[in-house]
Chain A
Amino acid sequence: MLDLAIIGGGPAGLTAGLYATRGGLENVVMYEKGMPGGAITQSSEVENYPGIKEVVSGMDLMASWPEQCMRFGLKHEMAEVVRVSRPEGLCFKVELSDGSVETAKSVIVCTGGTPRKAGFKGEEEFFGRGVSTCATCDGFFYRDKEVAVIGGGDTALEEALYLANICSKVYVVHRRDEFRAAPSTVKRARENGKIEFVTNVLVEEVYGDAMGVQGIRLKKKDSGEVIDLPVPGVFVFVGYDVNNRVLKQEDGSFLCDVNEYGEVVVDLQMRTSEQGLFAAGDIRIMAPKQVVCAAGDGANAAIGAIAYVEHLHRENLC
Chain B
Amino acid sequence: MGKYIELNSSNFDETVKEGVTLVDFWAPWCGPCRMIAPVIEELAEEYEGKAKIAKVNTDEEQDLAIKFGIRSIPSILFFKDGQVVDQMVGAASKQAFAEKLDALLK
Contact = CB atoms under 8 A, between A and B. Distances in A.
B70 A141 contact: yes
B72 A132 contact: yes
A97 B71 CA distance: 29
B58 to A, nearest CB: 8
A134 B32 CA distance: 9
A212 B42 CA distance: 32
A57 B29 CA distance: 9
B17 interface: no
A78 B65 CA distance: 28
Question: Looking at B65, B72, B75, B93, which has the most chain A CB atoms within 10 Å of its CB?
Answer: B72
B64 interface: no
A80 B31 contact: no
A52 interface: no
B69 A212 contact: yes
Nearest to B73: A137
Nearest to A96: B95
Interface size of B as a range:
20 to 34
A58 B31 CA distance: 8
Interface string A17-40: 000000000000000011101000
Interface stretch (B1-9, B33-41, B45-53, B78-86): B33-41
B93 A80 contact: yes
B94 A140 contact: no
B95 A97 contact: yes
A137 B27 contact: yes
Contacts of A79: 93-95
Interface string A195-223: 00000000000000001110000000000
A315 B97 CA distance: 44
Contacts of B92: 33
Contacts of A33: 35, 39, 91-94
Contacts of A140: 27, 29, 58-59
A134 B71 contact: no
Contact of B37 (A34, A58, A211, A213): A34
Given A97-B95, A132-B71, A212-B69, A59 B89 contact: no
A134 B30 contact: yes
B39 A42 contact: no
B71 A129 contact: yes
Contacts of B29: 57, 59, 136-137, 140
Interface string A33-75: 1110100011000000000000001110000000000000000
A98 interface: yes
Given A35-B35, A98-B95, A136-B29, 6 more contacts: A34-B37, A41-B34, A78-B42, A128-B89, A137-B27, A140-B27
12 contacts: A33-B91, A33-B94, A34-B35, A34-B38, A35-B35, A97-B95, A129-B71, A129-B72, A136-B29, A140-B27, A141-B70, A212-B69
